[in-house]
């Protein structure tokens, strides 16, 4: 996982969920789902839609799982895998 990609995914999460005040505290190991109150079911959909648009990827419904949103690093690795298969 590259630092640039991690920063890009972090930026999507921070901007989409309007949590700029907490951006500096987020790292690859930061827990997301269950730890960031704004990342509820609607927040997940908004983040996914923004990731798809930003990176030109498609995330199928069956690919959704709690593991993807476990940490910022896990989400970044998922995006990286999608970019590799695009």
pLDDT in tens, 29-41: 999 988 999 999 8
Rounded to two decimals, the pTM is 0.91
pLDDT on residue 29: 96
DSSP state of 70: S
Q: Which domains does the chain have, with CATH numbers?
A: 3-85 (1.10.1200.10)
4 CA to centre of own chain: 14
Please give the angle made by the CA atoms of 65, 47 and 43, to the nearest 5 degrees: 80
């Amino acid at each position: 996982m590259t630092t640039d990609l991690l920063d890009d995914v972090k930026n999507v999460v921070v901007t989409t969920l309007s949590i700029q005040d907490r951006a500096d505290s987020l790292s690859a190991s930061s827990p997301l789902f269950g730890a960031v109150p704004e990342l509820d079911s609607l927040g997940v959909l908004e983040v996914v839609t923004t990731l798809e648009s930003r990176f030109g990827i498609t995330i199928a419904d069956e690919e959704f799982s709690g593991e993807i949103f476990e940490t910022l690093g896990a989400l970044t690795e998922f995006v990286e895998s999608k970019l590799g298969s695009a």
